[in-house]
Amino acid sequence: MDARGPSSDSSPWMPFESRRRARDEKRDAVLRTAVHLFLEQGYHRATLNEVAERLNITKPALYNYFRGKEDILFECWALGQERVDDFIAGIDAAGGTGLAKLRKLIRAYAEVMTTDYGASLVRFDPRDLTEKNSRVVRAAKRSIDRTFRKYIADGIADGSIRPRDPKLTAFVIAGSLNWIGHWFQRDGAMSAEAIGSEFTERLTEGLAAKPARRRAASTPAKRRKSSGGTR
């Protein structure tokens, strides 16, 4: 709000700011430790005592930053969701064919799934949340599903994707990606980037329309019957 930045030497706002930052850093540390432990042992088996212990504090100290265990769980989920929302906004802004957008979505989503917060989107059970938070989660899941379906439908409309049912296709792709959150491990042989690339290829090679020279016709309504028969 003030014209002089925080670099101004004896600013009376500095201590206040630094204090707030220290607090946020501690809050983040709690979340990082919690999400890690929740993933490692499962939400119900993980105890707040152990979260605190790993941070060299005691359980009640956690309550300075969170209202309770469920609050922490929801925050972990929200951080993962935020990342998804961010890159979807980026993809939407960039534009391109449906197929191009879908491929970007697959790659980004796959890579998010290899992170702790990303995995929490699929490893945690919404039924452990309050009704209020649970509704937020369900709404977000529906939104992601709609995005997948939309890109697929866009691709069919613009001719970059061969006609097929967007709903089922979205389930196939999203399921495959979501499962990454269940098997990926950082110390494993595969890098997040390699997984992103591989999944992008494997999950789109079947749907891409032939790289026909023709510009996408405005209405590719009826496809040619068995134009090359993939099976």
Site for its own copies contains 95 (CB under 8 A): no
Q: How far apart are CA 89 and CA 28, in angstroms?
A: 24
88 touching DNA, by CB under 7 A? no
CA distances from 186 to 54, 155, 189, 192 (A): 20, 34, 8, 9
Q: How many residues does the chain have?
A: 231
Q: How many residues of this chain interact with DNA, rule: CB under 7 A?
A: 26
Examine residue 227 and tell whether it contacts its own copies (CB under 8 A): no
Structural contact between residues 204 and 227, judged by C-beta atoms closer than 8 angstroms:
no
Name the residue among 153, 158, 156, 152 with its Cα closest to residue 203: 152
Using CB under 8 A, pick the residue from 29, 55, 57, 172 that binds its own copies.
172
Binding residues among 27-86 for its own copies as defined by CB under 8 A: 41-42, 44-45
Residue 64: contacted member of DNA, its own copies, none (CB under 5 to 8 Å, by partner type): DNA
- Asked if 60 interacts with DNA (CB under 7 A), we say yes
Report DSSP state, residue 210. P
Partners of 161 in beta bridges: 208
* Site of tokens 């989107």: 121
- Of the candidate spans 27-35, 49-57, 75-83, 206-214, the one that interacts with its own copies by CB under 8 A turns out to be 206-214
Closer CB to its own copies, residue 61 or residue 168? 168
Among 26, 70, 83, 176, binds its own copies (CB under 8 A): 176
Q: Is-contact 50 37, C-beta < 8 A?
A: yes
CB atoms inside a 10 Å sphere around CB 205: 8
Amino acid letter for position 217? A
CB of residue 195 to its own copies, shortest distance in Å: 8
Residues that bind its own copies (CB under 8 A): 41-42, 44-45, 125, 127-128, 164-165, 168-169, 171-180, 182-183, 195, 198-199, 201-208, 210-211, 228-231
Residues that bind DNA (CB under 7 A): 12, 15-16, 18-19, 22-23, 26, 45-49, 52, 56-61, 63-65, 68-70
